[in-house]
Amino acid sequence: MFSRKKVFVLLISVIAVAALLMVGATSALAADKIIWKSSSFGPASNFSQIHHDKACEAITQASGGRMEVKAFVGGSVVPETKELDAVIEGVLDLCYTCPMYNLDKWPAAGLISSRPGGLPGQILTQWFDYGGGWELMNEMMEGYNAMVLPGFLSPEPGEVFLHSKRKIETVDDLKGLKVRTSGDGGEILARMGASPIFLPGGELYEAMQRGTIDAFEYAGLSTNWSMHFNEIADYVIISPVRAPSDPHVWFVNKESWEALPDDLKVLVQNVLTRWTQEQQNFESHNDLDAIQYFRDAGCEVYDLPKEVAEALSKEAQAFYAEKTAKESPIFGEILESMNAYGHKSGLW
């Protein structure tokens, strides 16, 4: 028979072995844990940054500890709007940003992101997810260490045409206007006599205060209200002609994506799609109230005069005809695909 002392020693040994096994299992789990870094384009008050952060947290929680996605605010890893460069280089694994910030790489990116005279929100989302859009975009990005996933933010009514210190009533009022803009809309406004400049969103408030710019576009009404733009611009000009939607895309590093187990790929894709749709619903809903907030704050909110909208639309058509003739074939493929989907949906 075992003495009490031997039983006690045996029990302690069993407990010690179990503890060592648990520590080993925990260490192995920690060693196998996948850690990603992701950023939106900020600032922290931007609804895209907020929903980006929620998506990262949701992936971490849903993975049960197998994967952690660390969220970074725009400008904290690389300069604002340069997040995709960091994904391509492997500094980030994931980012959530506007394609039009990457016209230096792909001229066709401006077609997908806030294209003047282009597809409006829901129809653009359908084209991207089901009409061949994301596949065409990946074809456009061939040769780069990044890809896009289905799941696309494209709220309606898109961006505010302009927040401005000067009232825009005629085409002549655009001449000499120092306007912050991005994407193809900037080039088209320049053809109409404006003086476009690009600045990150976090710099707009101070730039308006200092007189560096007279007007700017940035995002939808609810986002712009949250950033206190009522304090720096008397006029809020509404029109879908310059940006009938304001798309954001999830870009992922190819090597990081290919290294994921299949079940985690499904998890990541589902979470990103869910939070992108959540943001679209959130912004579209809150934009309805934000228009009145600007009015109550003393801003004059009005529709862009028809004369200006028609002139911009006409200039956009000429601009894209010229670009199609001189750019690579993928530019024409994307433009043709979008236009065909617009006709199919009854837009034109």
Regarding whether 319 and 340 lie in a shared domain, the answer is: yes
Domain limits at 212?
A: 162-244+293-344
Regarding whether 129 and 216 lie in a shared domain, the answer is: no
* pLDDT (0 to 100) of residue 348: 74
Regarding whether 250 and 240 lie in a shared domain, the answer is: no
Total domains in the chain come to 2
User: How many Å from the N-terminal Cα to the C-terminal Cα in the chain?
Assistant: 93
Query: How far apart are alpha carbons 342 and 244 in whole angstroms?
Result: 13
Regarding whether 137 and 62 lie in a shared domain, the answer is: yes
Regarding whether 224 and 102 lie in a shared domain, the answer is: no
For 230-276, how does the pLDDT look when each residue is reduced to its tens digit (9 = 90+)? Answer: 999 999 999 999 988 888 999 999 999 999 999 999 999 999 999 99
Is 175 a member of any domain? yes
CATH number at residue 55: 3.40.190.170
Regarding whether 65 and 131 lie in a shared domain, the answer is: yes
Query: How far apart are alpha carbons 95 and 85 in whole angstroms?
Result: 10
Regarding whether 263 and 139 lie in a shared domain, the answer is: yes
Regarding whether 122 and 270 lie in a shared domain, the answer is: yes
Regarding whether 130 and 51 lie in a shared domain, the answer is: yes
For 136-158, how does the pLDDT look when each residue is reduced to its tens digit (9 = 90+)? Answer: 999 999 999 999 988 788 876 66
Give the global pTM.
0.83
Regarding whether 301 and 209 lie in a shared domain, the answer is: yes
Query: How far apart are alpha carbons 93 and 255 in whole angstroms?
Result: 9
Confidence category of residue 32, pLDDT binned at 50, 70, 90: confident
Is 16 a member of any domain? no
| 137 contact partners, CB below 8 Å, separation of at least 6 | 99, 112, 128, 148, 249, 334
